[in-house]
Structure 1
Amino acid sequence: MAYFEKKDYDLKKLQGSINYDYFNKMLVDGKEKGDLIQTAKSLIEAVQPLPFYRVLNVNALTLNNAGAYISQELGYALAWGNEYLRQLTDAGLPATVVAKKIKFNFGISSNYFLEIAKFRAARMLWANIVASYEPTCLRDCDNKGENDECRCAAKMKVHAETSTFNMTLFDAHVNLLRTQTEAMSAALAGVDSITVTPFDKVYQNPDEFSERLARNQQLLLKEESHLDKVVDPAAGSYYVENLTVAIAQQAWDLFLEVEDKGGFYMALTAGTVQAAVNASCAARHKAVAQRKEVLLGTNQFPNFSEKAGEKKPADADCSCGCEHKEIATVKLQRAASEFEALRLETEAAAKRPKAFMLTIGNLAMRQARAQFSCNFLGCAGYEVVDNLGFESVEAGVEAAMAANADIVFFVQAMTNTLNMQFLPLRHSTAVPCLS
């Protein structure tokens, strides 16, 4: 406030926020710190001359980065925001004032259409929640309801940030593709502001180049695609409207479940929110491990020749138990972390296993099966020697011996049949046999 007054800014026009979030510290640190009501009151009073500043944050981004499903992220975010409303109105603050000081920070996953629907459903459900507190308009305003209720208070202020859950260390430039589509879905959904995460964040502090790319990704959407020119372009689309209703129903059911058990604060202290999100994270990790959920460049179509070198995961969790936690926390473990650990271990080994593709038979079928085998081994960082095919097994074995291969994948593809076998040479490193 002192800085703004010194600069002689018009305080009625300034927009911004202060990222105070009492409950996010509980989710991440496992500790309850400070006095929510006293701190919130002080912040609201401090920014009273700034009508467009928000000081109470709902950082649902944490849930997104922890692997929560979209309906969970939205449902818990609504309960999160409602906890601020309930506690502060019970403490005597007007619902209108509290609602206008809450800001929602959501993550954006790669589920393009579902993310568009999530933000549309969020605005609708939050308006219903705020309306239940019957906020009254505190000034002469053109946006009053029939009973002088403040419709402005029901407007959700939404910031969106691209997820880190699906970002990868290997083939890191693919992260640019992920964040670009994520930012596009948030822009089409009509969020107020967006942060695009730099592609190299998972293994280093973003440098000047990656931060510039992240800024330019938004400028491309705005200046070249003109995504800021249309309000709610998804409106009227049967597919998106149907998704919006479906997500809204699931999120609302979860919101009611949390409220029935005493609210978001009680759910956090009991650990039910953390348990549910961690269970979803485990399910998604399993889907990635089984390649049901695809991470391009990690569990599908990896770059065989890439090496991590000096790159190390920047988000490795400390598991030494050095810090006591009063309550359970969510696990911020990226989907690619297990594949990366496997590949880094291979890279650090004294000898990198070399696999040789011995393919004979029908060209189209053998190449498809050999490609599957190459991807399978490449996910673990094995060196793969692919071939166009051999006239006989003997010729293939001779070539494998000349290549000094540790492992041979024998793929015999006829027109309607396939025979794929694993053949170790000498004292080779054992790998699973494909069948």
Structure 2
Amino acid sequence: MSNQREKLFTDFPPVSTDEWIEVVTNDLKGADFQKKLVWRTKEGFNVKPFYRADDIDGFKALENLPGQFPYVRGTKKDNNWYVRQEIKVVDFADANKKALVLLEKGVNSFGFKLPKHQLSSENLAILLNGIAPDKVELNFSTCISKTIDLAKLVVDYIKGQNLDVMKCYGSVEFDPFRKILKKGIDEPEWVEKAVEIVKITSPLPRFRSIIVTGNMLNDAGAYSYQELGFSLSYGNQVLSKLIENGIEPSTAAKKIKFKFGVGSNYFMEIAKFRAARWLWAEVVNAYKPPCPHDCDNKADDGTCRCAAKMNVHAITSAFNQSLYDPYVNMLRSQTEAMSATLGSVDSLTVRPFDEAFEAPTEFAERIAVNQQLLLKEEAHFDKVTDPSSGSYYIETLTRSLAEQAWKLFIDTEEAGFYNSLKSGLVQDAINKTAEERFNALANRREILLGTNQYPNFNEIMSDKIDESATGSGCGCGNTQGSTPLKSLNKNRLADQFNELRLDTEKSGKRPKVFMLTIGNLAMRLARSQFSSNFFASAGYEIIDNLGFKTVEEGVKAAKEKGADVIVLCSSDDEYPQYAPETYEMLKDSNELLVVAGAPACMDELKAQGVEHFINVKSNVLETLKMFNDRLL
């Protein structure tokens, strides 16, 4: 069979890239190839419509296997990851019961968030009763003011179990810059605290204690290259300070854990995790950490290669979770989970689909766990390591994203990450990106299904919102006597559309939008569908129609239905006739006339009194705000 294949391929001469482009250019019939088919990403590089082997010629990653430095293909030979569930502890016994049930359902990692005023060895023992630290990954967090105390309790507890500490994996999460990023509160003693917690957790070599929360940047709306570039600078700032303060380089690197968010840009997110491991390996390698053991994973000069392994915990994005049509959040988080696991992360948390508006229900949490189990037990994602290796497209994305992130890393390093936070450089950059994305959503250049495109027309959500479930955590720390620092954006992408639609619900009046469809069949149907989605994004009642023979018949039907807005849906060629006729019938009425489209005669129609037009260039959010002001 192989011989037959070889003979078959000899019948077809190789085709060069130039020949492919020539064919594509001919098919474009004079259109510019770069403008028509080349996509400029938000990360700042171009993506071509097709890639070939010569695009990745010379990529060093192609020569590596999973588990080999610089770890583009993963830090281990397999692709098994921890299925993690977050548990906010209120009652320690109840949290323990919940954890034991989850263990039976396939969870093998926990993120326990503990109340700061109830930290004690007794409560910790209650929480972990029946949970084996050498079989389950355990991660603990609390208010930053009590993280040192928590670390001591965890170390004492695990040492007291007489276990092999080399089999105990997890973390006690100390995030040096969380207060700045979240609340704009400085943490001037972060270096001393970081050094102390590393020393406290040293008896647990497999427990990480410094957490680089790149996911906070992701949840604030950052582009992939920003999340990656700033996270690298964040990690390097901490790493350098630990080494300066007497921590061995290999120990310091092994105490750092990265948290990354996962957005919905499927292939870009896969590339992000591959690029992250690569760049962090180069950062750590620059310190030449000596290998403290006689192992087979060190460079010829004795540099520890294990220290260069990035430990990555991925969390599906909160930024793109929506209030309306919340089941779509499951679809988003599923593709995000696929990106993370194909990108070979070490552990993963899938956010419950209802997290944006209530304390997650038992059903939502169960689905979130099952989303990961599906990838393992049905899709077998854990059976193949780095399946994207060799993909011309993903390999190119990995390299391009790495280059952009590295540029940002170098720029940030001039001042240092901490100083960049204090000056607001990091926050300004990400908040600017968030604003760009809000505007893109408003103009439908970015689509959020169920929010600004294909909304669930008749959905009601105002009675499902639990305000108490959206708190911002503890209120420790204050800015008295000091100037508050800038913080990150806290709004989700869909928030402005959510507010718009909630205003409609709370007003007690639901405006009726009537589609006056007439004329050209294809155009009236297309514009009717566009207009229905447009106005349904504000929660208006949509009354669609198959078509009318005359404008008079359509206006009569609209009035009978009690319409507040009448949308004329026809073709550009027919608007010069139908639009003035409709306007004349409505000019003395309360109904608002809207023309769907941007016909060449728009200025003439405006001169005749037609005021409202909606089309693909309309700012959906601002237009709907205007209608809310007029109608509610």
Shorter-normalised TM range: over 0.9
1:176 and 1:164 map into 2 onto residues whose CA distance is: 12
Unaligned runs of 5+ in 2: 1-154, 595-611, 616-632
Task: Name 1:103's counterpart in structure 2.
Answer: 257
- CA distance 1:34–1:206, shift in 2 (3 Å): farther
SS at match of 2:271: helix
Q: Which of the residues 376, 379, 394 maps onto 1:225? A: 379
Q: Does 2:589 match 1:426?
A: yes
Q: How far 1:430 sits from its partner (Å)?
A: 8.4
SS at match of 2:384: coil
1:234 touches 1:240 (CA, 8 Å); kept in 2? yes
Task: Name 1:330's counterpart in structure 2.
Answer: 488
Task: Name 2:174's counterpart in structure 1.
Answer: 20
Structure 1 range deviating more: 125-134 or 37-46: 37-46
Equivalence map 1:87-98=2 (5 Å): 87-98=241-252
1:357 touches 1:409 (CA, 8 Å); kept in 2? yes
Task: Name 2:228's counterpart in structure 1.
Answer: 74
Deviations 1:105-155 (A, max 9, x none): 000000000000011001110011001101001122121210111000000
Task: Name 2:362's counterpart in structure 1.
Answer: 208
Task: Name 1:277's counterpart in structure 2.
Answer: 430
Q: Which of the residues 505, 514, 519 maps onto 1:361? A: 519
2:274 and 2:329 map into 1 onto residues whose CA distance is: 25
Q: How far 1:394 sits from its partner (Å)?
A: 2.2
Q: How far 1:86 sits from its partner (Å)?
A: 1.1
- CA distance 1:88–1:340, shift in 2 (3 Å): same
Q: How far 1:323 sits from its partner (Å)?
A: 6.8
- CA distance 1:430–1:389, shift in 2 (3 Å): closer
Structure 1 range deviating more: 186-195 or 322-331: 322-331
Structure 1 range deviating more: 288-297 or 48-57: 48-57
Q: How far 1:429 sits from its partner (Å)?
A: 6.6
1:398 and 1:418 map into 2 onto residues whose CA distance is: 19
1:433 and 1:122 map into 2 onto residues whose CA distance is: 46
1:207 and 1:402 map into 2 onto residues whose CA distance is: 44
1:293 and 1:257 map into 2 onto residues whose CA distance is: 28
1:58 and 1:430 map into 2 onto residues whose CA distance is: 53
1:17 and 1:283 map into 2 onto residues whose CA distance is: 35
- CA distance 1:338–1:430, shift in 2 (3 Å): farther
2:171 touches 2:209 (CA, 8 Å); kept in 1? yes
1:237 and 1:296 map into 2 onto residues whose CA distance is: 29
- CA distance 1:203–1:169, shift in 2 (3 Å): same
Q: How far 1:393 sits from its partner (Å)?
A: 1.8
Equivalence map 1:86-235=2 (5 Å): 86-235=240-389
Task: Name 2:503's counterpart in structure 1.
Answer: 345
Q: How far 1:41 sits from its partner (Å)?
A: 2.4
Q: How far 1:315 sits from its partner (Å)?
A: 5.0
User: Bigger radius of gyration, 1 or 2?
Assistant: 2
2:350 and 2:282 map into 1 onto residues whose CA distance is: 30
Q: How far 1:42 sits from its partner (Å)?
A: 2.3
Task: Name 2:442's counterpart in structure 1.
Answer: 289
Letter in 2 for 1:237: S
Deviations 1:26-80 (A, max 9, x none): 1112112362232222222222221111000100000000011110000000000
The alignment's C-alpha RMSD in Å is: 2.1
2:262 touches 2:316 (CA, 8 Å); kept in 1? yes
Letter in 2 for 1:294: I
1:358 touches 1:409 (CA, 8 Å); kept in 2? yes
Structure 1 residue runs of 4+, over 6 Å off?
A: none
Q: How far 1:381 sits from its partner (Å)?
A: 1.1
Structure 1 range deviating more: 387-396 or 204-213: 387-396
Q: Does 2:216 match 1:53?
A: no
1:300 and 1:250 map into 2 onto residues whose CA distance is: 31
Deviations 1:274-313 (A, max 9, x none): 0000000000100000000000010001111111131337
Task: Name 1:31's counterpart in structure 2.
Answer: 185
1:61 and 1:301 map into 2 onto residues whose CA distance is: 28
Task: Name 2:46's counterpart in structure 1.
Answer: none
| Structure of higher RCO (CA pairs closer than 8 Å, 6+ residues apart) | 1
2:196 and 2:379 map into 1 onto residues whose CA distance is: 42
Unaligned runs of 5+ in 1: none
Task: Name 2:416's counterpart in structure 1.
Answer: 263
Structure 1 range deviating more: 213-222 or 38-47: 38-47
Task: Name 2:43's counterpart in structure 1.
Answer: none
Task: Name 2:566's counterpart in structure 1.
Answer: 408
Structure 1 range deviating more: 365-374 or 305-314: 305-314
- CA distance 1:137–1:117, shift in 2 (3 Å): same
Task: Name 1:301's counterpart in structure 2.
Answer: 454
2:462 and 2:247 map into 1 onto residues whose CA distance is: 55
Q: How far 1:326 sits from its partner (Å)?
A: 2.0
2:567 touches 2:593 (CA, 8 Å); kept in 1? no
Q: How far 1:8 sits from its partner (Å)?
A: 3.2
SS at match of 2:566: strand
